Amino acid sequence: MTTPKKNNYHNTWHHARELRANLQTGFNPYLDGLEGTWKAIASHQGDITALRTDDEKIADNPLSAFSFYLQAGYYPPPEILLAIDSAFIQYKSNAGELELEDVFFGHRKKGVGNYAARESGQSFYRLLYLIDRHDDTKGLTQITEELFLEFSIDRDIDSFLRGYRRWKGHRDTGSADT
């Protein structure tokens, strides 16, 4: 007996990795063009292919990665587009039985709330991660000070950086979504 997939399976990195592998082996002649088109676009955007291998470290799920890529000015890889599409298909095919929150992020967590509530504290960690990867001239403390100044954030930098290092450690070990 097979275990049913979670409602938010289509918006997981496991599903995106399956889609990426399928795209690279030519599993669907109608979708084969997505990979080639993405590579052509990516070749004009610098080293975006390196981000593709790190996307699980910069976002919790494909939908968040989609947003990250757009905000950074990059075209998202095809497996992310396909994962989001398959989640929408699941939502529509369940004819109102599932909420978008369930399909994209799973059930609300008691005491913590929905995905937006859980996610709000991590957006600056992702921004710091991206800046730190591309700026070898400044240390984390200086980058954080500049971000806090730019966004008028009144927060203790040391405790923020301790939280960032924990968050980064989880990302670097791949424990966000297996």
pLDDT along the chain (178 residues), means of 10: 71 91 81 83 74 78 89 87 93 89 81 70 78 85 89 86 86 56
What pLDDT was estimated at residue 13?
Answer: 92
What pLDDT was estimated at residue 178?
Answer: 35
Tell me how far apart the alpha carbons of residues 87 and 10 are, in angstroms, rounded to a whole number.
5
What pLDDT was estimated at residue 151?
Answer: 80
What pLDDT was estimated at residue 82?
Answer: 94
**What's this model's pTM, rounded to 2 decimal places?**
0.65
Mark 62-99 as b/e (b = at least 16 C-beta within 10 Å).
bbbbbebbeeeebbbbbbbbbbbebbeebbeeeeeebe
92: its two tokens: 């529509």
What pLDDT was estimated at residue 121?
Answer: 62
Least Cα distance to 171 among 130, 139, 137, 140 occurs for: 130
What pLDDT was estimated at residue 98?
Answer: 87
